[in-house]
Amino acid sequence: MKEIFLLKLGEIVLKGANKRQFEAKLRSNVRRRMKAYGEFDVYLMQSTVYVEPMNEECDVDGAWEACRSIFGVVRLCRCRPCEKNTDAIFNTIEEYLGDELDCAKSFKVESKRSDKAFPLNSIQLSQEIGGRLAEAHPHVEVDVHHPDYTVFVEVRDLAAYVHGPAEPGAGGLPTGVGGRAMCLLSGGIDSPVAAWMIAKRGVEIESVHFFSYPYTSQLAKDKVLELARLVTKYSGRMTVNVVSFTEIQEAIRDNCPEEYFTLIMRRFMMEISQRIAKEHGCGALITGENLGQVASQTMEAMTVTGAVVDIPIFMPLVGMDKEEIVTIARKIGTLETSILPYEDCCTVFTPKHPKTKPTIGQLLNAEKRLDREALIQRALESVEKIQVKYHEDEAFC
């Protein structure tokens, strides 16, 4: 029989009356992700999503890689189904996993029996299959406590399934069950990680990027679009709203005290992002802010920059160390792009001595020479909407 995937659900199994809604969304997401790799049958039984290729033309390896980045899946394994009898199970293990067993120093068999009509319980099945494997592979020791390799047998409703150790999945909740949010996406390390962390909670992600040509280059813009594309490996396709920010930054430079440049700039970013977010049906903003990392990320500074919006601001990195953020960036594949030396607009007109403990009154006074509404309206008129997705033929959204 052909190889199939078993995708094990995570915290979805703890849901109550709305559990079926979460399961249906996950199954729908998996089906869409598989469309790029051929014809797969995707069905859900006993808190497990089964992904079964329907013909030889399916790109099984590509589909497997895609399954590893689907939120809502906590563990996954490639396995071989067989008939529910000990002879078939043993023969399938020998055919499917025999080479891995031969390379191991020790092994054990771990069985699960959800089909209670099967004549052996889990312990008896493990003993039966383990004994046969020990005879077939006499050079491999049996070690039930610390084995070098574990053979798994799952006796389920439709068939028995044999596989090696499962791999970790993306975890979290299925994309689409947690609403929508708008991420302020810069070219740095932090904001793509923040987007990924909120997407992991089932939130659909859109993004906004502020572009200050000629102070920032086309390469800087392309870098951000690539970061967004890398995030869509997990989140599904998104729209990047590119806002022309040059006029606002020049107006701040010409009319405001230097120590407030960054704070005023971020207040504009927040207000513009909120207006775009509401157009997209987003209920929150996402930022990569990290308490104390830079002068504009003190408690007082984050208070005054967030005061211009009336929707929640999610800051998933706020209490993390930089090394923790870098570790996640490396894991999700955004780090190498983030460290490319193309500066974003946050580095334009940076004050020598930024204000670290501002008040709302001070900011309002510093902004009084600006026509905020006119500047915001012209920036909104400049928005370029760019659709990005991880695969050109990807149907997942």
Instruction: Encode 105-168 in three state secondary structure.
Output: CEEEEEEEECCCCCCCCHHHHHHHHHHHHHHHCCCCEECCCCCCEEEEEEECCCCEEEECCCEE
Q: Give the tokens for residue 180.
A: 């929508």
Q: Is the pLDDT of residue 395 over 50?
A: no
Alpha-carbon span 238 to 191, nearest angstrom: 15
Average pLDDT for residues 256-264, to the nearest whole number? 95
Q: Is the pLDDT of residue 123 over 60?
A: yes
Q: Which CATH superfamily is domain 180-388 in?
A: HUPs (3.40.50.620)
Which pLDDT score, from 0 to 100, does residue 66 have? 95
What are the tens digits of pLDDT across the range 91-110?
Answer: 999 999 999 999 999 999 99
Which pLDDT score, from 0 to 100, does residue 1 have? 62
Q: Is the pLDDT of residue 17 over 60?
A: yes
Alpha-carbon span 356 to 71, nearest angstrom: 38
pLDDT bin (cut points 50, 70, 90) of residue 235 is very high
Which pLDDT score, from 0 to 100, does residue 350 have? 83
CB 237 within 8 A of CB 387: yes
Residue type, 225: L
List every span in the chain annotated with CATH 3.40.50.620. Answer: 180-388
Average pLDDT for residues 221-241, to the nearest whole number? 95
Average pLDDT for residues 196-205, to the nearest whole number? 97
Average pLDDT for residues 271-297, to the nearest whole number? 94
CA dihedral 30, 35, 40, 44 (to 10 degrees): 20
According to DSSP, residue 36 is labeled G
Q: Is the pLDDT of residue 203 over 70?
A: yes
Look up the CATH architecture of domain 4-168. 2-Layer Sandwich (3.30)
pLDDT bin (cut points 50, 70, 90) of residue 392 is low
**SS3 breakdown of the chain: % helix, strand, coil, rounded to 5?**
45, 20, 35
What are the tens digits of pLDDT across the range 293-327?
Answer: 888 889 999 999 999 999 999 999 999 999 999 99
Q: Tell me the chain's radius of gyration from C-alpha atoms.
A: 26
Alpha-carbon span 140 to 98, nearest angstrom: 11
Residues comprising the chain, all counted: 397
Q: Which residue has the higher pLDDT, 110 or 342?
A: 110
**Starting from the edge strand earliest in sequence, which strands make up the sheet with 180-184, in order?**
313-314, 285-286, 180-184, 204-211, 238-244, 384-388
Average pLDDT for residues 109-119, to the nearest whole number? 95
What are the tens digits of pLDDT across the range 27-86?
Answer: 999 999 999 999 999 999 988 999 999 999 999 999 999 999 999 999 999 999 999 999
Q: Please give the mean pLDDT across all residues of the chain.
A: 94
CB 220 within 8 A of CB 242: no
Q: Is the pLDDT of residue 397 over 50?
A: no
Percent of the chain with pLDDT strictly greater than 90: 87
- List the one residue out of 104, 199, 207, 206 whose CA is nearest residue 147: 104
Average pLDDT for residues 201-214, to the nearest whole number? 95
Alpha-carbon span 204 to 20, nearest angstrom: 19
Which pLDDT score, from 0 to 100, does residue 2 have? 86
pTM of the shown model: 0.91
Which pLDDT score, from 0 to 100, does residue 296 have? 83
CB 107 within 8 A of CB 149: yes
pLDDT bin (cut points 50, 70, 90) of residue 396 is very low
* Strand locations in the chain (E): 4-9, 40-45, 48-53, 73-82, 106-113, 141-142, 149-155, 160-163, 167-168, 180-184, 204-211, 238-244, 285-286, 313-314, 384-388
